[in-house]
């Protein structure tokens, strides 16, 4: 009986040690004593090892997890990686462009915020790179002129420095709160040397139709 008990204990221990759990979307098993792979190691298994690209991919998810990455699928990860690479390349190219300083006055008053961007950027890039402005201005539609949450108001003297709005922007502006003759959607205004030093006002009310 003692020999049988010992053998049973050994089998139980071996079964426990060899218990295998499938990593969803992965290509291997790991024992129950292993830890689940990190999001970084999961992406590395998929061939994404560049730290800058990995950081950009993970930034898309509020709380990135292996489960979320798996659900994204190989095609989704490839598309996401390509988008991040394009953004990295664009940002690298913009580093050589001249700076443009813009002042943004809050709807709540006070001293205007000083923001520095690059020629060719829009207010959506300024918003994304400045936490204070992000608290004041939302770009709900991602910059496709499908909402009015990035509504800005120019001084009359500066308004002529901005190229005219297209029909899609005009249609969206017609639906905005606090519309003025010098209103624009920030996502459609590209920074130029002519705008260096101008001050824009944020409206008191915005309407998110997105």
Q: Is the model more confident about 74 or about 91?
A: 74
Give 15-71 pLDDT, tens digit per residue: 344 333 333 333 343 444 456 689 999 999 999 999 999 998 998 888 899 999 999
The dihedral built from the CA positions of residue 148, 209, 141 and 206, taken in this order, carries a sign that is: positive
For strands 199-201 and 99-105, give the pairing.
Answer: parallel
Q: What pTM was computed for the model?
A: 0.58
pLDDT of residue 171: 93
Domain that holds residue 68: 20-93
pLDDT of residue 170: 94
Separation between Cα atoms, residue 52 and residue 140, nearest integer Å: 25
pLDDT of residue 37: 84
pLDDT confidence tier of residue 207, bands split at 50, 70 and 90: low
In a domain, 1, yes or no: no
Q: Which residues contact 209 (CB under 8 A, 6 or more apart)?
A: 146, 147, 148, 172, 175
In a domain, 206, yes or no: no
List b or e across 144-171, with b for residues whose CB sees 16 or more CB atoms inside 10 angstroms.
ebebbbbbbbbeeeeeeebeebeeebee
Q: Which helix (H) or strand (E) holds 73?
A: helix 66-94
φ and ψ of 174, to 5 deg? -60, -20
Give 142-192 pLDDT, tens digit per residue: 888 888 999 999 999 999 999 999 999 999 999 888 899 999 999 999 999
| CATH code (residue 134) | 3.10.20.30
How many structural domains does the chain have?
A: 2
pLDDT of residue 189: 96
In a domain, 12, yes or no: no
In a domain, 175, yes or no: yes
DSSP state of 145: S
Q: Are residues 160 and 186 in the same domain?
A: yes
Which of 93, 123, 152 terminates a domain? The answer is: 93
In a domain, 9, yes or no: no
């Amino acid at each position: 009986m003692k020999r049988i008990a010992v053998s049973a204990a050994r089998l139980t221990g071996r079964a426990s040690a060899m218990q295998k759990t499938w990593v969803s979307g992965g290509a291997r098993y790991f024992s129950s004593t292993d830890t689940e792979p990190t999001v970084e190691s999961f992406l590395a298994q998929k061939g994404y090892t560049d730290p800058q690209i990995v950081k950009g991919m993970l930034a898309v998810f509020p709380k990135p997890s292996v489960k979320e990455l798996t659900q994204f699928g190989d095609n989704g990860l490839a598309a996401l990686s390509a988008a991040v690479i394009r953004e990295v390349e664009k940002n690298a190219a913009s580093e050589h462009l001249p700076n443009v300083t813009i002042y943004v006055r809050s709807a709540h008053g006070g001293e205007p915020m000083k923001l520095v961007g690059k020629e060719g950027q829009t207010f959506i890039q300024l918003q994304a790179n400045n936490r204070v402005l992000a608290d004041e201005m939302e770009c709900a539609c991602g910059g496709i002129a499908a909402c009015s949450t990035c509504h800005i108001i120019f001084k009359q003297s500066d308004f002529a420095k901005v190229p005219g709005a297209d029909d899609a922007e005009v249609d969206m502006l017609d639906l905005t709160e606090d519309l003025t003759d010098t209103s624009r959607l920030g996502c459609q205004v590209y920074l130029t040397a002519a705008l260096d030093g101008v001050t824009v006002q944020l409206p008191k009310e915005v309407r998110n139709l997105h």
